[in-house]
Amino acid sequence: MFTRKIGIDLGTANTIVFVPGRGFIINEPTIVALSRPDNTVMAVGREAKEMVGRTPADITPYQPLRDGVIADYYITRAMLRYFINKAKGPFNFIKPDVVISVPAGITQTERRAVVNAAKEAGSREAHVVREPILAALGAEIPINSSSGNMIVNIGGGTSEVAVVALGGIVSWASLRIAGNKFDQAIMDYVKKKYSLAIGEQTAETIKIEVGSALPAKPRLEMQIRGRDLSSGLPKDLMINSNEIAEALNPLLMEIVGAIQRVFNETPPELVADVMEKGIILSGGGAQLLNLAEFLRGTLGVSAYVAEEPLFCVAKGAGLILSHLDVYKRVLLNKPGNPMR
């Protein structure tokens, strides 16, 4: 069966591709490995991520997106071509229509860069939709209802908070604190407390295995290995979930501050709706242990993690692809409108 429509959650850390009727067919890191000095693409996705921290001087793993937007146009185009071709299959010469997620705070220039990169990478039509709308759709929130719903989407490069009603975003905030900053905070914490240098992949593994937003009972523990800064030699260390909660607390409080700002800018009727229904959490960062309980305790509002939070944005893109006529308003990217 030829693939005519593709939904792409183009994230800073991971790219997820959804095809109607086939489901999630790609979930790979948003990383490209370049060979220097000629800048040829050696590897994309999972293969490129395996090279991080292990490459010789003439190979550079590179993240072409920074904080959810294109940092390097040509590398992003090469990466999109790889994902689109992989989704289409080797013998499909039909150019597909593509829906791509973008941050809520994207500028018109950044939006055009995404559309042009997708078209040059092999799509027929490229539609960009703001992540909070896609995340809300993927979390099965009825976005066309007059009742307000709050979605907090924590990705790799950005966290986005939005109140959605009547098919649009009423109020929103976007901050550049998300999964990648969580990893950096863990690296800094271990370096400061134990004088141990660890890599990004180790920090990410710690976050996934024993990361927590609150001190947990019983504590989760794992053994890690890094380089002792005093001796320069390898060293093993046991780290636990309570330490990770301490390391992440300042960043989580900034996300809480963003949610409070959105509440302040939201009409009282919609705030009442959110108080009644609770906050919905999506994105890879929503999988952090005890995050919903942390938000409940700091904000006094119920919070719930969406089903399959990592796939909410891609699932929302798939819904739009399947019902393009219903969601036409969402696809109209008008300047100055935070949703479209």
Number of H helices, E strands in the chain: 11, 18
pTM, two decimals, is 0.87
| Sheet with strand 126-130: strands edge to edge | 23-29, 14-19, 5-10, 97-102, 126-130
How far is it, in rounded angstroms, from Cα 230 to Cα 232?
6
- Whether the CA torsion 134, 139, 140, 142 is positive or negative: it is negative
Report all structural domains of the chain as residue ranges with CATH numbers, in order of start. Answer: 5-133+313-331 (3.30.420.40), 141-306 (3.30.420.40)
Give the residue from 89, 88, 106, 107 showing the smallest Cα distance to 98.
Answer: 88
Residues 6 or more apart whose CB falls under 8 angstroms from that of 140 comprise 306, 307
- The residue behind tokens 């990592």 is 310
How far is it, in rounded angstroms, from Cα 158 to Cα 173?
10
pLDDT by residue (tens digit) across 164-211? Answer: 998 889 999 998 899 999 999 999 999 999 999 999 889 999 999 999
pLDDT by residue (tens digit) across 260-289? Answer: 999 999 999 999 999 999 999 999 999 999
Cβ–Cβ under 8 Å, residues 42 and 22: no
Lowest mean pLDDT among 5-14, 238-247, 331-340: 331-340
Per DSSP bridges, beta strands 32-35 and 40-44 are antiparallel
